[in-house]
Amino acid sequence: MPVLVMKFGGTSVATLDRIRRAAKRVGVEVAKGYDVIVIVSAMSGETNKLVGYVEETSPLFDAREYDAVVSSGENVTAGLMALTLQEMDIPARSWQGWQVPVKTTSAHSSARIEEIPSDNILRKFAEGMKVAVVAGFQGVSPEGRITTLGRGGSDTTAVAFAAAFDAERCDIYTDVDGVYTTDPRICEKARKLDRISFEEMLELASLGAKVLQTRSVELAMRYKVKLRVLSSFEEMSDEGGTLVCDEEDIMESKVVAGVAFSRDEAKMTLVTIEDRPGIAAAIFGTLADAGVNVDMIVQNVSELNYKGHVGGVTDMTFSCPVNQVARAEKALDDAKAAGILNFDKLESERDVAKVSVVGIGMRSAAGVAAKMFKVLSDENINIQVITTSEIKISVLIERKYMELAVQALHDAFDLDKAA
C-alpha cells in the first residue's frame, strides 16, 4: 500500500471536536487505499502551559526533565486521535517517539533526528493496522532519554517520516489554507500560491514566514518530499492548499514569489574595532558560544587611526533577534574585559525590522534590487543594512515603516496577480 503522511498542528487538534474532524480527513485517505502515518502536535496552548509549569517549578531546570514534561502534550493528542479513529472502525494505534523509535541526538529541547527505522510500523501495517498516530516533536536519545526537537518540531517529524517511509506526499494541516505571497493580515492583496519551490519556501520560512518550520523545509528539499500545506478548517480538495515542490515541477513562476518580514529584529554595532585578520572570527565566535543567532552582517571600513595606524580600525554591524540583545551585549563586554576584543563602544537598536523579497526568478532577472530600493526610496524609507543571496534580497529598516514597506513591495512586484 502507498503511504501518506498527514500532520495536524495544535489548532487542528485543539478540542475533541477538532480531533474528530481531523480523524474524518484521515478516514477519507484510508478509503483511497493509503496506509496513513498521522503526526500530531499537542492541543493548542498545551505546550505553553507545560513550559510554564517547568519554569515555575525550576527556573534553572534540567533539560532532560524539561523534555520529559513538555513532550507529554503530544502523547495525549496521539492517544485521543487513535481512540477516535478506532471509534470510526479504522484500525489505528498511537506511537510515542521512543516506540517507533525516532532516534535523535542528545541535544535536549533542540535535538535533531538521526534515524527513523521503519520496521515496527511497517510490520503493524502488514498485520492490518491502517493508521499509525505518532506523537510529533519528540524522539529518544542514544542514552534512552526522551528528547524534543524545538518549537515547530512536529513539522520536522512529519517530513522525516515521509522521507523514511518513501511516502507519496506529506500533508501539513494547519489554520491557514496555504502559503501566501505575504501575510494577509499585513497586506489584504496577498494571494495564495498554488505551488512554491523548496528554495523559495526555505527562504520565506527562515525570514519570518510562520507557515512551516525551517528545518522541515530543509529536510523536504534534501529528500525530495512533496509537501502540501492545507487548512484543516476548509472542505477537503485534491487541488487545495499549496504544494511545496521542486523548481522543475513549476511550469512558470514570477520573478518574485513573496515578501517576508520579521519585526523582532535588533541591530548592533561594534564601533572602532581592530581591523585585522581573525577579528570577525573572534566576534562571531564569541556570539556563537553565547547562543546568539546572528543574521545580517556588514563591515564598515574606517579611516580612523588605531594605535597610530591609518585604516587600522573598522565598525562591525550585525542583526540578531531582539530577545538576544542582552545576551549579545554581555558576551561582547565579557570578551572585551578578557582582552579578546578591543572596541570603543557597542551600540544597540531595538526598533528595526527586516523586509525581504524572495523568488527563484531572481537568478535570471536583472533589476530586482534596483526596483526594490527605488520603491523604498519613493516611500521615504531609509535602508540601514542590505544582504543578498541568489534568490533573496533583505533590508533592515525602521520598524515603524515595516507594514508600509511590505505593502509597497507587494504592489510593485504585482504579487496579487498570477504568473
Q: Please count the other Cβ atoms lying within 10 Å of the Cβ belonging to residue 252.
A: 7
Instruction: Judge whether 378 is annotated as a binding position.
Output: no
Centroid of chain to Cα 397: 22
Instruction: Judge whether 7 is annotated as a binding position.
Output: yes
- The domain spans of the chain are 3-175, 249-419
Length of the chain: 419
Instruction: Judge whether 210 is annotated as a binding position.
Output: yes
pLDDT in tens, 203-248: 888 776 667 888 899 999 999 999 999 988 877 766 678 999 888 8
Instruction: Judge whether 10 is annotated as a binding position.
Output: yes
CATH number of 3-175: 3.40.1160.10
Instruction: Judge whether 114 is annotated as a binding position.
Output: no
- Check if 3-175 and 249-419 are the same fold: no
Instruction: Judge whether 9 is annotated as a binding position.
Output: yes
Dist CA 354 CA 268 (whole Å): 14
Instruction: Judge whether 286 is annotated as a binding position.
Output: no
Mean pLDDT across 358-364: 87
Instruction: Judge whether 198 is annotated as a binding position.
Output: no
> Residue 130: what pLDDT?
98
Q: Is the pLDDT of residue 196 over 70?
A: yes
pLDDT in tens, 242-272: 999 888 877 667 899 999 999 889 999 999 8
Q: Is the pLDDT of residue 357 over 60?
A: yes
Instruction: Judge whether 66 is annotated as a binding position.
Output: no
Instruction: Judge whether 143 is annotated as a binding position.
Output: no
β-sheet with 92-95: strand ranges across:
92-95, 131-135, 35-40, 3-8, 169-174, 227-231, 242-245, 195-197
Dist CA 184 CA 193 (whole Å): 12
Instruction: Judge whether 153 is annotated as a binding position.
Output: no
> Residue 135: what pLDDT?
98
Rounded to the nearest integer, the mean pLDDT of the chain is: 91
Q: Of 5, 35, 13, 1, give the one whose Cα is nearest residue 160.
A: 5
Residue range 249-419 forms a domain whose CATH class is alpha beta
> Residue 245: what pLDDT?
87
> Residue 311: what pLDDT?
55
Instruction: Judge whether 8 is annotated as a binding position.
Output: yes
pLDDT in tens, 286-336: 999 998 999 899 887 655 544 454 557 888 999 999 989 999 999 999 999
